[in-house]
C-alpha cells in the first residue's frame, strides 16, 4: 500500500528565519508515522537552511518549481540538477505557475522529464479552471495536461510520479470553493483511467494521486478517505503549524480506521 503523502506548499511566504521557526514548531507537533510521508516545500531560498534543520525521519523536502535545463546561461533560474541533493520531490505545473507565469503544457512536460532525469519525483499538478468546469471541459483539460506532461517518460519512470489534482476553482488563492468529495473522486478515477490508457493498469494502480484545494483540518478526513486518494497538497493551511499538524493527524486517523 502507498504511504499517505501530505505536502505543504509554502508558496512565496516565510523568509529563512520564519521558515526555520515553522520547522521548529512542526517538529514539536508532528510525530513520525511509518505510513505517512510529510513533505515541506519552502521557497528556493529557504530550502538549503531548512534541509539542515529537519528531522529526516519526519520530513522530506520538495521544491515548488525548477528549470528544465540542467545548467547554462539562464539567469535567475535554478535547475533540478542543483536541487537533487536537497529534495525528494518537486512540484511541477502548479496552477499559479500555469496562470501567472504562462507555463505551457510543453514546458511542464520538459520539467517533468528533467526532474525524473535528476532522480527527483515530480508532483505534477493538474486541474481545470472555473470556466472550464462550467463548460464541461474537465475531462479534456485533465487528459491534455496529463498526456503531454507524461509523454516523454517510460512506464518505470511514471511509477515515481505523483499527480496532484488541484481544481483551480478550489484553491484558496483563486476561487477557494470547497470541493465536494464525490466530484474529486470522479476526477481521481478519470486520472487513473488516463494513466491506464497511457501506461497500463499496473502504472495506474501504482501512481500516487493527491487532492489539493483549500484542504483544512475540517475537510482533510473527507478528502483523505476518498477511494484512490493517496494524500493532500496543502497551501494556506501548511503555513500554520497547528492546522498542518492537525491535517497530518487526520491522515493518521483515516489510515487507522481503514486498517
Residues that bind ligand PEP (CB under 6 A): 9, 94, 166, 171-172, 212-215, 233-237
Residue 37 annotated among the catalytic residues of the structure? no
Burial 122-149 (b: 16+ CB within 10 A, else e): bbbbbbbbeebbeeeebeebbbebbebb
CA pair distance 235, 244, nearest whole angstrom: 10
- Shortest distance in whole angstroms from residue 246 CB to ligand PEP: 14
Between 212 and 231, CB nearer to ligand PEP = 212
Beta-carbon neighbour count of residue 246 at 10 Å?
A: 16
Between 9 and 90, CB nearer to ligand PEP = 9
Options 96, 103, 157, 166, the catalytic residue: 166
Between 7 and 203, CB nearer to ligand PEP = 7
- Shortest distance in whole angstroms from residue 96 CB to ligand PEP: 7
Instruction: Select from 133, 143, 146 the least CA-distant residue to 174.
Output: 133
Contact 178, 214 (CB under 8 A): yes
Between 94 and 109, CB nearer to ligand PEP = 94
Residue 166 annotated among the catalytic residues of the structure? yes
Instruction: Select from 172, 196, 192 the least CA-distant residue to 184.
Output: 192
Options 94, 103, 128, 157, the catalytic residue: 94
Cβ-proximal residue to ligand PEP, closest one: 235
Dihedral sign of CA atoms 258, 244, 35, 82 in order: positive
- Shortest distance in whole angstroms from residue 176 CB to ligand PEP: 7
Q: What residues act catalytically?
A: 94, 166
Amino acid at each position: 500500500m502507498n504511504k499517505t503523502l501530505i505536502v505543504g506548499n509554502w508558496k512565496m511566504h516565510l523568509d529563512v528565519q520564519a521558515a526555520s521557526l515553522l520547522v521548529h514548531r512542526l517538529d514539536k507537533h508532528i510525530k513520525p508515522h511509518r505510513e505517512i510521508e510529510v513533505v515541506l516545500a519552502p521557497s528556493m531560498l529557504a530550502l538549503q537552511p531548512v534541509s539542515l534543520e529537519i528531522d529526516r525521519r519526519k520530513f522530506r523536502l520538495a521544491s515548488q518549481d525548477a528549470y528544465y535545463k540542467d545548467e547554462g546561461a539562464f539567469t535567475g533560474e535554478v535547475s533540478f540538477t542543483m536541487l537533487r541533493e536537497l529534495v525528494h520531490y518537486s512540484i511541477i505545473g502548479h496552477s499559479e505557475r500555469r496562470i501567472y507565469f504562462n507555463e505551457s503544457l510543453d514546458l511542464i512536460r520538459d520539467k517533468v522529464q528533467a526532474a525524473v532525469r535528476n532522480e527527483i519525483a515530480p508532483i505534477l499538478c493538474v486541474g481545470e479552471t472555473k470556466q472550464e468546469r462550467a463548460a464541461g471541459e474537465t475531462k479534456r483539460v485533465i487528459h491534455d495536461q496529463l498526456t503531454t506532461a507524461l509523454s516523454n517518460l517510460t512506464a518505470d519512470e511514471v511509477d515515481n510520479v505523483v499527480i496532484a489534482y488541484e481544481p483551480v476553482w478550489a484553491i484558496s488563492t483563486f476561487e477557494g470553493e470547497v470541493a465536494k468529495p464525490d466530484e474529486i473522486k470522479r476526477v481521481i478515477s478519470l486520472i487513473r483511467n488516463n494513466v491506464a490508457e497511457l501506461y497500463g493498469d499496473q502504472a495506474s494502480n501504482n501512481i500516487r494521486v493527491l487532492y489539493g484545494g483549500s484542504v483544512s483540518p475540517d475537510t482533510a478526513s473527507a478528502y483523505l478517505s476518498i477511494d484512490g486518494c493517496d494524500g493532500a497538497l496543502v497551501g494556506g493551511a501548511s503555513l500554520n503549524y497547528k492546522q498542518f499538524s492537525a491535517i497530518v493527524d487526520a491522515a493518521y486517523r483515516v489510515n487507522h480506521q481503514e486498517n
